[in-house]
Structure 1
């Protein structure tokens, strides 16, 4: 079993020294280097590079500003996806994002984790657990999503949240570590005052 097959199974794998892993990561970095240097007017080339990089995309998507990932081929995005500036996805394992998802600036989706003991960590070993984000999810600025998390449909993750456990559908989730604040209700669809009073 090669190192990327181990990663896909959630096993410890050599993320830092294995030649095949490093070459796959470098292939992604080459595309990202081109992508992140494009003018905002070069939409067709930008979208072509995203389609080349990612495992699956919808027809309509936007990556605003800088984007970084490990491999790209483990990332799947649905229809009407929007990522604001500085999205980082460490995709040693699958990251599957549903339809109509909005990701605010400076968000990190991290499938990668490391052994607690320094001996194995110093050998470059890590593990990766998949992240799944449902449909109609809004992830606020500065959110960090940890390995193995599933975010349910219609959830809203508040800015600055550290998501260490699964998020139920249709809730506001906030804090460090994150927790359910309340359900999203029909009244939220009628709200017209968005001040912080």
Structure 2
């Protein structure tokens, strides 16, 4: 299908406007669709080919004035994605994220079941922020409405099904679904097929 057949004239004008404006936001980006909410821009590293949908929110609130949010090459996120980094969120190359996805390395309070736990009688917004790095490796595909929580690593080539909550790390080359997300298939390179686990 021709590029010009996919968009109306007004949509094409909007894309041209976004393309020009993108150069002033992140020089390496392919296209940023506006509106977008960027907080802590100087702590965010964007690589070549960065692409967004509309209504995205990306934010970095580092504890030590260092870059905490990293986007690899050819990264694409669709509409209304929210990514926040306090310690480290590192997203690899060729990662595709569907719409309405939430990724965060931090939360208001700790709930790990140890001496650092937050008291439920305290006000949630006043609880100390707790942070643990999130790593998303190359060639990962994340479906609609997925939430990725602090301390998670998602292995290379993995696919996360829509509406999943990723609260524990996932290995390479699996399809994971559910809340909490669990691997249900793995790619068998010998037969070149996805097989049930």
Of 77, 86, 96 in structure 2, the residue corresponding to residue 83 of structure 1 is 77
The reply to whether residue 56 of structure 1 matches residue 45 of structure 2 is yes
The Cα shift of 1:182 comes to 1.2
Q: 1:138 to 1:120 in 2, by over 3 A?
A: same
The Cα shift of 1:55 comes to 2.4
Q: 1:55 to 1:70 in 2, by over 3 A?
A: closer
Of 69, 79, 88 in structure 2, the residue corresponding to residue 94 of structure 1 is 88
Equivalent pairs, count: 151
The Cα shift of 1:111 comes to 1.3
| SS of 2:129 mapped into structure 1 | strand
| SS of 2:51 mapped into structure 1 | strand
Of 128, 136, 142 in structure 1, the residue corresponding to residue 145 of structure 2 is 142
> Contact conserved, 2:80 with 2:101, CA < 8 A, in 1?
yes
2: distance between equivalents of 1:91 and 1:69? 8
Q: What residue in structure 1 maps to residue 193 of structure 2? A: 187
* More helix, by proportion: 1
Q: What residue in structure 1 maps to residue 101 of structure 2? A: 107
Q: 1:171 to 1:165 in 2, by over 3 A?
A: same
Bigger relative CO (Cα 8 Å, ≥ 6 apart): 1
Query: Could you list the runs of 5+ residues in structure 2 that have no partner in the other structure?
Result: 1-13, 28-37, 62-66, 110-117
Equivalent residues in 2 for 1:104-183, closer than 5 Å:
104-115=98-109, 116-117=118-119, 118-119=121-122, 121=124, 123-183=126-186
| SS of 1:184 mapped into structure 2 | strand
2: distance between equivalents of 1:61 and 1:136? 14
2: distance between equivalents of 1:180 and 1:108? 20
Q: What residue in structure 2 maps to residue 19 of structure 1? A: none
**RMSD between aligned residues:** 2.2
Query: Could you list the runs of 5+ residues in structure 1 that have no partner in the other structure?
Result: 1-38, 189-197
